Homo-oligomer: A and B are copies of this chain.
Amino acid sequence: MINFDQLAHQYNDELFNNIIPFWLDKSQDLENGGYFTCLNRTGEVYDTDKFIWLQGRQVWLFAMLYNNVEKREEWLQCAIQGAEFLKKYGHDGDYNWYFSLTKEGNPLVEPYNIFSYTFATMAFGQLSKATGNEEYAQIAKKTFEIILKKRFDTKGKWNKAFPGTRNLKGFSLPMILCNLALEIEHLLDKEVLDKTIKECLDEILNVFYKEEFGLILENVNVNGSFSDTFEGRLINPGHSLESMWFVMDLGVKLGRPDIIEKAVKITLKTIDYGWDKEFGGIFYFMDVKGHPTQQLEWDQKLWWVHIETLITLIKGYQLTGSQECLKWFEKVHEYTWSHFKDEQYPEWFGYLNRRGEVLLDLKGGKWKGCFHIPRGLFQCANILKKCK
């Protein structure tokens, strides 16, 4: 019989006694502001470039803890110093957010990536709640407006797709917008909020989700139809599974059990499909027709995929009592803790090969920062506390 209290304690303890101290101690650039995220196994900085995704996500995480756990000053100061760095150096003056900066804040990579904008919005939205600072609120609002404007042409001049031949749309943006809309609810007009949520839910559940596969596609034709191409056949099980807890949250907010039920159904189909029956763990990329993927890393096991899946499974159980969700939660929990947690040094590994062996022993890099692991531990701990 599963002991929910004990598990809640385990997630909580890992968050506050391992993960959070690691990032507080190791990542803050007290000289220039912002955070180093390229940290090796023991937490030493091995590269000093600063990636806006990860800068924004770390601001968000510490502001979120301050808002939801405890008014701890060092958390707030950590979030504020990162936000000040972002405010000063992260954008071009018109809230077009670069992709990366040098440690001093000089722009390295142009603002081609819409997710730099979404994570900046999350950061300043959450921090405006923590501080009541009106400037932070305005940055979040303005950036969110730009995201909505750029929504159907996110890459601008950096788009390499020839116009008109094969117009696809991607799953990532509606997925993130679902979560983002709730994140900055306190800053949005109710009308904009309701419209965004409605559109995104419809895109996820009725357009990217395809009944004939029982799965969510990463890309579809702009008219919503299946594209039998590398992009169109692509399945990212971790992405699909992560999005399902965003959808469940919206189901709760809207009082729509039908949406929650559908999310649970998609979750169970996706985890069964994405689970590696030979070595365990969830694949990174798959082709819905079983063809070779373009992604050479397709069979790797990534930290964010597994921790996000844990949130979805335990939330699915909490909201519907699904025993299948609970069984899968136990299986993914066992795999995740025994493979990703580094028993010797702080924080977790991010990249394992198919067999679950460590592929890169970094604790942070260009894509892994202070986000998925702590957010996931926090979410799971809180849900587990409520489970019976």
With both beta carbons as reference points, the residue of chain B lying nearest to A351 in the complex is identified as B296
A110 partner, pick from B47, B162, B298, B366, beta carbons under 8 A: B162
**Category for how many chain A residues contact B:** 35 or more
- Shortest Cβ gap from A114 to chain B (Å): 13
Q: Which of A73-107 contact B (CB under 8 A)?
A: 98-99, 102, 106-107
Residues A108 and B40 in contact, CB atoms below 8 Å apart: no
Most buried by B among A40, A165, A292, A293: A292
Closest residue of B by beta carbon distance from A357: B354
A294 touches B161 (CB 8 A): no
Interface of A is mostly: loop
* Pairwise interchain contact B161-A292, C-beta atoms closer than 8 A: no
CB-defined contacts of A351 to chain B, threshold 8 Å:
296
Indicate the member of A158, A165, A229 with the most B CB atoms within 10 Å.
A165
Chain B nearest CB: distance from A279 CB in Å?
Answer: 12
| 0/1 interface trace, chain A 119-161, chain B, CB 8 Å (1 if under) | 0000000000000000000000000000000000000011011
Q: How far is the CA of A31 from the CA of B161 in the complex (A)?
A: 25
Instruction: Report the bound CA distance from A362 to B292 in whole Å.
Output: 7
Number of copies: 2
Return A108 CB to nearest CB of chain B, in Å. 5
A102 to B228, CA, bound (A): 12
Q: How far is the CB of A91 from chain B (nearest CB, A)?
A: 12
| Chain A, 335-388, CB within 8 A of any chain B CB | 351, 353-354, 359-362, 365-366
Q: Find chain B residues with CB under 8 A from A353 CB.
A: 299, 353-354
Q: Check A291 for interface membership: any CB of B closer than 8 A.
A: yes
| In the bound complex, CA of A296 to CA of B365 (Å) | 12
Interface check A166, CB cutoff 8 A: yes
Whether B360 pairs with A293 at a CB distance below 8 angstroms is yes
Q: Indicate whether A267 reaches chain B with its CB closer than 8 angstroms.
A: no
Interface string of A47-66 (1 = CB under 8 A from B): 10100000000000000000
B365 & A294 in contact (Cβ 8 Å cutoff): yes
Residues in chain B near residue A165, CB distance under 8 A: 102, 106-108
Are the CB atoms of B229 and A49 closer together than 8 Å? yes
**B360 contacts A109, C-beta separation under 8 Å:** no
Q: A297 near B296 (CB under 8 angstroms)? A: yes
Partner of A296, one of B38, B109, B229, B360: B360
| Any B CB within 8 A of the CB of A213 | no
**A230 in the interface, Cβ–Cβ < 8 Å?**
yes
Q: Are A162 and B109 in contact (CB under 8 A)?
A: yes
Q: How far is the CA of A351 from the CA of B293 in the complex (A)?
A: 12
- Of the residues B161, B289, B354, contact of A109 by C-beta under 8 Å: B161
The 6 closest A-B pairs by CB, nearest first: A296-B297, A107-B162, A292-B362, A292-B360, A46-B291, A106-B165
A residues contacting B by CB (< 8 A) are: 38, 40, 46-47, 49, 98-99, 102, 106-110, 112, 157-158, 160-162, 165-166, 229-230, 289, 291-294, 296-300, 351, 353-354, 359-362, 365-366
